[in-house]
Structure 1
Amino acid sequence: MDEARVTIGTRIKLVALCATVFSLFYNVNAWYASTLDYVPSFIFSFEQYIPFIPWTVIPYMTSGIFFVIVFFLCETRQELQTLTKRVVFVSVAAGLFFLLFPLKFSFIKPETSSVLFNFFFQFIKKVDSPFNEAPSLHIAFAFIFWSVFRNFTAPWRQVSAVWLVLLGLATLTTYQHHLLDVVTGAILGQLSFIVFPAEKNNFKLRNFYLANCYFLGGWLVILLSLVVFEFYHASGLILLWPALVLFLVGYHYQKNSIYFLKNKQGTIPWYKKIVYFPYIGLYWLFWKFLRKNKKPIELIPKLYVSSRLDQSEFQDFKGNQNTLVYDFSAELEENNAIKGNSVYHAVPLLDIGAFDTIEIKRIVLEITSHYKELPKDGKILIHCTMGLSRSTLIGILVVKNILSLPLDEALIKIKTTHKNAVIHSYVQDFLKSINI
């Protein structure tokens, strides 16, 4: 049987499955809400200033078209299966919220003089329900559409991004949804990426999973900010700052931008300290109060791992100009005592993120080479922020390389020496895949 024909048939079946699940949950809940004596609305006070813009009904209407064609744009079976799982998940999860917390759109929609726009609005009136508001399926589906559209090449990638943004804004400007629905729809769409990642065991895509966690956190903080602003105090809007930072950090995880904060001298520029203050501050608190590995641990003679040391801890370590320091922390800048009294190397890695195999090999071989040439009073210190995971990874590979040990023996040696070492399963998989 022709493979393309089978593929098309499978796509059609999956479209039908997702459309059936969506229709079932959407229509049953709309009917249920219509039978209730009272269905509340949730409106932020400033929403009264959102304008009604008739022409935005056009991008709003394209959601139904995208719902179908997106299944025919997936390039692999894996991508198609993931898309299906996300659409079903979003439809069912939203349906449960519609059932448990029914809400109604409450603004009166103005009349429009355009025949075309009026036709679209009449169509929406027939097929859309004034209920089934939060979370907005239009928004959640737009997120899922982007997970496929983002694979387009320029300029279609940019065009589709702008169009999906217009689609999202149209939920407000066509008076179909309130802001709560939009934010909760974004949360639900983002959650679908975490529950059903693109490729669960693909180490190279780990940063995308972590980025989605940061993005989800950003949307949750936005929701919290709006609620605090509405019901307690205008100061709640300050929470939009950490929300923005979460989005920025998520973006850099997607790009694996290891120098997004620190430069190659181990310093964070003043303007980044201001912008990323919530992120840097949180890591500083973790470092200040939760770290355990404050005293460098000697893995083998003259090779140490630790957390980021403060000035007094580095003095106790007796670092000198023949001490090589490899700093793998991407979140906190190195203290001046270390940079001024050692041979310092800034080689940041994103916390619990993916690693670039070529870069890791380069670093390990460089440390190994320096180790073999150390003078009598020389030593090497490898550290990250907490001294648990990133420094441990490099320590394992360096010890394995210097002593020519099998990986299992190197792991046992590190675990025996470094009691607080954290070796995640994905790190173990990476160690097995890298050959130095």
Structure 2
Amino acid sequence: MTKRMLFIIISAGICFLLFPLRFSLIKPEANNTIFQFFFQFLSKVDSPYNQAPSLHVAFALLFWTVFRNLKSYWRALAAFWLLLLALSTITTYQHHFIDIICGAILAQISFIIFPFQKNNFQLRNFQVANYYFLVGWITVLLVLILNQFHAHFWLILVWIVLVIFMIGYQYQKNNIHFLKDRYGNIPFYKKVFYFPYRAIYWFFWKFLRKYTKPTRILPGLFISSKLDKTEIQDFDFNEKTFVYDLSAELEENDVIKEKSQYFCVPFLDIGSFELIVTKKLVLQITTNYTQLPAGGKILIHCTMGFTRSAVIGILVVKKILSLPLEEAIIIVTKANKHTVIQKYLQDFLKTNNL
């Protein structure tokens, strides 16, 4: 909290010195005696040059990171008070709307540079959400600029802003089913609203994935990215095939759902693995593996095949073979050289008894 506050004050101060902006509109006279007193007091104590970024807004967002942990009544009261604090910058003719956005961007940058409990795996989703929120605020700034100079472009960006903020919110809540239901289907209205998000993941999946066929990590046990139609035909799915879809972004191919025993257990990309869900999933896959009929096989896949499927694959190999974690990691990474196990995942695997 202290580091964030110092960063905001120093950064804003530098901006005030380098860009001494002033309120550009004529301030109306306050006729009411009481309001006139307050506005005169404000003009005496407040410098006219501290425009962008707004410290009121930056501090409102900063204080919310503390007050959001209060109980329901006090939490609602704190949220309302901080909202009034941010809006006061407009009602007192101190700032333009763009100054508010700059203040929000500054606060969001402080959250990223000084994360709360950086090495706490359970807070990973909050850290990812902060990046989404930062991109969201920057996009709002872009909307304002385009609206000023190219008014016909800004509406579609408002849609994108809403999508970005909603995704950040879903990460904060660890809502793994914010797109796909428990059967792996995405309702039509979600397909429409989240189209930009899904389109980006489809592009990544189509052109940037490294593996175009499943990788065998044990006899009858495979990990992969989401498969296309040709790869589905090559893998030969049947009623003895178990498929575990860990992707939260893209729907499974209908052929896989129809021909195999399909399970949708999504995890948010580059986010945390909920401990209870992970344990239950690993136990289920391990049990099915030990009871596989002749010719049976298990496929674990996510969207890109880099992380989520690899992490679950490591845990399954560890449990099936009763291996130390390090040996299970070696088996999977040797089979799939493009596996990405970042430090926060290594800490999660080492510190939890899975």
Q: Distance in 1 between matches of 2:31 and 2:266?
A: 59
2:198 is aligned with 1:280:
yes
Q: Secondary structure at the match of 1:102?
A: coil
Q: Distance in 2 between matches of 1:264 and 1:164?
A: 38
Q: Which residue of 2 aligns with 1:253?
A: 171
Q: CA deviation at 1:434?
A: 2.2
Q: Which residue of 2 aligns with 1:292?
A: 210
AA at the equivalent of 1:254 = Q
Report which stretch shifted further, 377-386 or 426-435.
426-435
**Structure 1 contact 142–168 (Cα < 8 Å) conserved:** yes
AA at the equivalent of 1:304 = F
Q: Secondary structure at the match of 1:97?
A: helix
Q: TM-score, normalised by structure 2?
A: 0.98
Write out the 4+ residue segments of structure 1 that deviate beyond 4 Å after TM superposition.
none
1:329–1:224 distance in 2 versus 1, CA, 3 Å? same
Aligned-pair RMSD on alpha carbons?
A: 1.1
2:124 to 189, 206, 211: 206
Q: Deviations over 1:146-178 (max 9, x none)?
A: 111111111111122122222222211221101
**Structure 2 contact 30–39 (Cα < 8 Å) conserved:** no
Q: Deviations over 1:80-128 (max 9, x none)?
A: xxx1111110011111111222211122222223333222212211111
AA at the equivalent of 2:288 = H
Q: Distance in 2 between matches of 1:334 and 1:127?
A: 61
Q: Which residue of 2 aligns with 1:388?
A: 306
Structure 1 or 2, whichever has the larger Rg, is 1
1:8-27 matched pairs, under 5 angstroms? none
Q: Deviations over 1:14-47 (max 9, x none)?
A: xxxxxxxxxxxxxxxxxxxxxxxxxxxxxxxxxx
Q: What 5-or-longer segments of structure 2 have no aligned partner?
A: none
Report which stretch shifted further, 235-244 or 205-214.
235-244
Percent of aligned positions with the same letter in both sequences? Answer: 58
Q: Which residue of 2 aligns with 1:356?
A: 274
AA at the equivalent of 1:428 = Q
Q: Deviations over 1:311-341 (max 9, x none)?
A: 2211111111110000000011111111111
**Structure 1 contact 311–338 (Cα < 8 Å) conserved:** no
Q: Deviations over 1:347-371 (max 9, x none)?
A: 0001111111111111001000000
Q: Which residue of 2 aligns with 1:28?
A: none
Q: Distance in 2 between matches of 1:292 and 1:172?
A: 50
Equivalent residue pairs, number: 354
Q: Distance in 1 between matches of 2:89 and 2:253?
A: 49
Q: Secondary structure at the match of 1:329?
A: coil
Q: Distance in 1 between matches of 2:18 and 2:207?
A: 41
Q: Deviations over 1:223-262 (max 9, x none)?
A: 1111112113422231111111111011111110000000
2:260 is aligned with 1:320:
no
AA at the equivalent of 2:119 = N
Q: Distance in 1 between matches of 2:212 and 2:70?
A: 48
Q: Which residue of 1 aligns with 2:44?
A: 126
2:136 to 218, 233, 238: 218
AA at the equivalent of 1:381 = L
AA at the equivalent of 1:391 = S
Q: Distance in 2 between matches of 1:111 and 1:151?
A: 41
Q: Secondary structure at the match of 1:304?
A: strand
Q: Which residue of 1 aligns with 2:224?
A: 306
Q: Distance in 2 between matches of 1:163 and 1:274?
A: 35
Q: Which residue of 2 aligns with 1:87?
A: 5
Q: Secondary structure at the match of 2:300?
A: strand
2:21 is aligned with 1:103:
yes
